């Protein structure tokens, strides 16, 4: 089994999470270093694997790649990301990157060469359906295929061996230099299967437990995820079934999908699916649900079904976000832990508990699946291994309910989701359920309990800083902390107090709000990156604003 069976995943869209400019401005800013301050948050949630959506150099949103071997300058550089990877690994957190191998941006070096040299370019064979008998919608004196009709995304020709070698070399680079643990394959349903076979052999020859999963929105996942190609697939069928079964008060929908996929004879029993309830491409789950009282059950279902659960950043607090006709940016906000919009702390606590339960229960990580009782508004299913049996029960109504089902045992059930309550059963049992609630029931002798102690206070391993800092090290260390409320001294000597951070209502730019502590004061606003900026004074690099202890 892969490490993924023992994982709880956190999914970050870095350019949005860090508040980077929507268009690459060429300015090097170490925005991704904010992740150091989030490590206790990850540990509290039992997160031990992070999926980063695109962080390779791109022109705009990350999926229009410029350079496959360079971290986007809006996030940092390769050296800063190496430190991030090392720190995450030292804190027990695996790293999966987004491999956008189907298409590139128009600023990709090989495409620029075609623009410059036309038929004489050595890279003409790199791009799908490139021809010189017309012009592109972008005004080029040639035609080419854009992914899904988007001509900012130039489709690669994965039948060209030079292209394949280039992309495999990029995958090897991230394994060798950064020790990454897996790849998400973007738009996997339109990528050549033979390429995936080569990618699998390349990556697993470097790291046998390297995990490859594809973004698949439809079709038979077995075509792309099998013993010769990818390890897994995004479970879009259950993504839809989870929220719509709650919205329609129809647990038959998700029960049918789970049975079809994972029960005895299920079509995906050999695939450990990547499970999610929202991501950077779809509406936030808190916006998709008609009744937010169902959030707890939604996450309980995702954490207890077969496959690995993944939380999209910020959704642990129930934040909302809807796609528009023109943009996905509402789904990809800049977030700081001290300024989460309208946080649902009860949901967060529930997800923290689910993380501990999942990692504590063998049956949830490795077990078989079977539906036990299905009704429109009530559901019971079973997960089991040779060593452990777990029943999971749901009530999505707004009132107390009772669910009777055959436990098949004369033993005790410990409800690890609800204060480790112990229940005596003998065969059929009529289970009491509170409104909008779930139970996770472990069959045992009455002694089994899950430990819910907080491990986020454990010592966090961070990069070692040299006390004798050079100018370059000062600049590097500067970005290890975020701008937080408190007192700061401007390099010219005046003192200020930071009140907090804010977002520009029109541009989404992150701003620092602060007031002067001299004369009669005054309220000021400055771009976040400018506030953190390194400037040069008397031949030395110093911070524009320095925190005052």
pLDDT at 470: 41
For 103-157, give the CATH class.
alpha beta
pLDDT at 462: 61
Mean pLDDT computed over 23-46 = 97
CA distances from residue 386 to 269, 290, 368, 525 in whole angstroms, order as listed: 17, 39, 10, 61
What pLDDT band is residue 519 in, cutting at 50, 70 and 90? low
Given the DSSP bridges, would you call strands 495-503 and 510-516 parallel, antiparallel or unpaired? antiparallel
**Residue 342 burial (C-beta neighbours within 10 Å; 0-12, 13-18, 19+):** exposed
Sheet containing strand 523-527, strands side by side: 523-527, 510-516, 495-503, 486-490, 545-547
What pLDDT band is residue 459 in, cutting at 50, 70 and 90? low
CATH topology (fold) of 3-100+160-362: TIM Barrel (3.20.20)
CA distances from residue 114 to 25, 124, 143 in whole angstroms, order as listed: 24, 6, 11
Lowest model confidence (mean pLDDT) among 204-208, 405-409, 531-535: 531-535
> Contact 455/352 with Cβ under 8 angstroms?
no
Coil vs helix vs strand at 530 = helix
pLDDT at 481: 55
Mean pLDDT computed over 300-322 = 98
CA distances from residue 501 to 18, 19, 75, 523, 527 in whole angstroms, order as listed: 13, 12, 19, 13, 10
Given the DSSP bridges, would you call strands 56-58 and 65-71 parallel, antiparallel or unpaired? antiparallel
What pLDDT band is residue 466 in, cutting at 50, 70 and 90? very low
pLDDT at 471: 43
CA 210 to chain CA mean position, Å: 17
> Contact 297/289 with Cβ under 8 angstroms?
no
Q: Cα separation of 140 and 27, whole Å?
A: 28
Would the pLDDT of 478 be above 50? no
- In our burial notation (b when 16+ CB lie closer than 10 A, e otherwise), range 240-269 reads bbbbebbeeebbebbbbbbbebbbeebebe
What pLDDT band is residue 428 in, cutting at 50, 70 and 90? very high
Q: What is the architecture of the domain spanning 471-547?
A: Roll (2.30)
CA dihedral defined by 14, 16, 22, 26, rounded to 10 degrees?
-30
**For 198-334, where are the E strands, in sequence order?**
211-214, 232-233, 274-275, 308-312
| pLDDT single digits (tens) 228-279 | 999 999 999 999 999 999 999 999 999 999 999 999 999 999 999 999 999 9
Q: What is the architecture of the domain spanning 364-444?
A: Sandwich (2.60)
| Share above pLDDT 90 across residues of the chain, in percent, rounded to a whole number | 81
Among 152-161, 469-478, 500-509, 514-523, name the most confident range.
152-161
Q: For the chain, give every residue range classified as CATH 2.30.30.320.
A: 471-547
What pLDDT band is residue 469 in, cutting at 50, 70 and 90? very low
**Please, what is the Cα angle at 460 between 459 and 465, to 5 degrees?**
115
Q: Which two tokens stand for residue 37?
A: 């301050």
pLDDT at 467: 35
What pLDDT band is residue 485 in, cutting at 50, 70 and 90? confident
Mean pLDDT computed over 25-51 = 97
Arithmetic mean of pLDDT over the chain:
93
pLDDT at 495: 84
Beta bridge pairs of residue 153:
105
Beta bridge pairs of residue 8:
none
What pLDDT band is residue 475 in, cutting at 50, 70 and 90? very low
| pLDDT single digits (tens) 364-402 | 999 999 999 999 999 999 999 999 999 999 999 999 999
pLDDT at 99: 98
Q: For the chain, give every residue range classified as CATH 3.20.20.80.
A: 3-100+160-362
pLDDT at 442: 98
Whole-angstrom Cα Rg for the chain = 25
Alpha helices (H) in 248-344, listed in sequence order? 251-262, 285-288, 295-304
Q: Which two tokens stand for residue 432?
A: 């009491």
Beta bridge pairs of residue 410:
426
What pLDDT band is residue 460 in, cutting at 50, 70 and 90? low
pLDDT at 87: 98
pLDDT at 454: 85
Sheet containing strand 378-384, strands side by side: 368-374, 378-384, 389-395, 437-444, 401-415, 421-433
What pLDDT band is residue 330 in, cutting at 50, 70 and 90? very high
Given the DSSP bridges, would you call strands 421-433 and 540-543 parallel, antiparallel or unpaired? unpaired
Q: For the chain, give every residue range classified as CATH 3.90.400.10.
A: 103-157
Mean pLDDT computed over 129-146 = 97
């Amino acid at each position: 089994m892969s490490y993924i069976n023992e994982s709880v995943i956190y999914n970050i869209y870095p350019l949005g999470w860090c508040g980077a400019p929507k268009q690459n401005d060429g300015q090097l800013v170490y925005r991704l270093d904010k992740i150091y301050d989030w490590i206790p948050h990850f540990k509290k949630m039992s997160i031990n694997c992070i999926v980063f959506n695109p962080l390779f150099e791109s022109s705009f949103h990350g999926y229009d790649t410029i350079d496959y071997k360079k971290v986007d300058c809006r996030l940092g550089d390769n050296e800063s990301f190496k430190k991030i990877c090392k720190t995450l690994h030292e804190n027990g957190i695996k790293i999966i990157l987004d491999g956008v191998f189907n298409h590139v941006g128009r600023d990709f070096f090989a495409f620029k060469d075609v623009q410059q040299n036309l038929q004489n370019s050595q890279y003409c064979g790199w791009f799908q359906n490139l021809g010189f008998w017309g012009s592109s919608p972008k005004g080029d004196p040639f035609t080419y295929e854009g992914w899904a009709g988007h001509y900012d995304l130039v489709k690669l020709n994965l039948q060209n061996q030079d292209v394949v070698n280039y992309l495999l070399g990029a995958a090897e680079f991230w394994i060798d230099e950064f020790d990454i643990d897996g790849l998400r394959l973007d738009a996997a349903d339109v990528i050549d299967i033979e390429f995936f076979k080569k990618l699998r052999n390349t990556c697993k020859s470097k790291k046998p437990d390297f995990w490859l999963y594809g973004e698949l929105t439809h079709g038979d996942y077995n075509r792309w995820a099998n013993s010769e190609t990818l390890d897994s697939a995004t479970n879009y069928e259950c993504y839809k079934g989870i929220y719509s079964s709650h919205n329609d008060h129809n647990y038959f929908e998700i029960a049918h999908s789970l049975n079809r996929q994972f029960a005895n004879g299920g079509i995906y029993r050999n695939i450990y699916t990547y499970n999610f309830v929202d991501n950077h491409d779809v509406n936030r789950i808190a916006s998709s649900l008609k009744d937010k009282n169902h959030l707890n059950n939604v996450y309980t279902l995702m954490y207890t079904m077969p496959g690995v659960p993944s939380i999209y950043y910020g959704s642990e607090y129930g934040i909302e976000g809807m796609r528009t006709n023109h943009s996905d940016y509402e789904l990809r906000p800049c977030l700081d832990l001290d300024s989460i919009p309208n946080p649902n702390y009860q949901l967060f606590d529930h997800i923290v508990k689910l993380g501990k339960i999942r990692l504590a229960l063998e049956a949830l990580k490795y077990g078989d699946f079977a539906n036990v009782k299905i009704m429109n508004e009530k559901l019971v299913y079973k997960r089991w291994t040779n060593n452990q049996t777990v029943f999971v029960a749901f009530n999505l109504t707004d009132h107390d309910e009772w669910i009777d089902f055959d436990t098949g045992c004369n033993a005790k059930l410990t409800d690890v989701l609800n204060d480790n309550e112990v229940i005596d059963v003998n065969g059929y049992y009529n289970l009491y359920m509170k409104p909008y609630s779930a139970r996770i029931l472990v069959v045992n002798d009455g002694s089994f309990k899950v430990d819910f102690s907080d491990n986020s206070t454990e010592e966090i391993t961070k990069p070692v800083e040299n006390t004798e800092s050079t100018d370059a090290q000062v600049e590097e260390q500067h970005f290890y902390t975020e701008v937080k409320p408190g007192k700061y001294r401007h390099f010219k000597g005046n003192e200020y107090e930071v009140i907090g951070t804010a977002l520009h209502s029109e541009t989404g730019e992150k701003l620092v709000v602060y007031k002067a502590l001299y004369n009669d004061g005054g309220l000021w606003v400055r771009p976040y990156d400018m506030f953190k900026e390194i400037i040069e004074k008397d031949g030395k690099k110093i911070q524009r604003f320095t925190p005052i202890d």
